[in-house]
Every structure is written in C-alpha cells, then in structure tokens.
Amino acid sequence: MSVQSFLINQYAKWKMKDVPAAQREQMVGLVSKDPQLFKKISEEIERRKKGGESEMKAAMEVMKKYRVELGTLMQQK
C-alpha cells in the first residue's frame, strides 16, 4: 500500500466514520484512482458553499458536472 493510499484510507475512516465500511472502501478506491479529480470536486464544492449555496446543493451540482468522469472511474477495475 502506498503512502498516498494509506493517508486516503485514514482520512476516509476519520471523515466518513458514519458511512458503512463497504461504501467507505468504494469511495477510497475511487479517490485513489484519480485524486486530482476529487481535489477539483472538493475545491469547487467549497467555493460554492462560500458563495452561499447549501453543502447538499453544491455537492449535487458539482457531481452532476463531473458525472462522466465519475462514471468512467466507477467502470474501471
């Protein structure tokens, strides 16, 4: 396991402690495949929140914007 994977795993355990383990592992796998995409998504959500949008609305809109890239990641083995 690389250092980056380890850090992502530890962050996920801490940040998503209420998420079931299987879903958490799936998310960690996706983030590990393309950490830059998730960094971009996270930054965009934060910008929208600072602009006054709710976190849920910001996340939904940004996820819609990146749905093709996310779908491609989910199909990779």
Could you tell me if 40 and 77 lie in one domain?
yes
How many domains, the chain? 2
pTM across the whole model: 0.73
Could you tell me if 12 and 48 lie in one domain?
no
Between CA 4 and CA 24 the distance in angstroms is 16
Cα distances from 61 to residues 3, 19, 36, 57, 75, in angstroms, run 31, 22, 18, 6, 21
Could you tell me if 29 and 40 lie in one domain?
no
What pLDDT, on the 0 to 100 scale, is given for residue 44? 93
63 versus 26: which is more confidently predicted?
Answer: 63
Domain that holds residue 57: 34-77
What pLDDT, on the 0 to 100 scale, is given for residue 60? 93
Summarize pLDDT for 14-46 with one digit per residue, the tens: 666 777 878 877 887 888 888 899 889 989 999
Pick from 30, 8, 24: nearest CA to 76: 30
Could you tell me if 42 and 52 lie in one domain?
yes
Could you tell me if 39 and 68 lie in one domain?
yes
Mean pLDDT of 54-74: 93
Does 3 score more than 60 pLDDT? yes
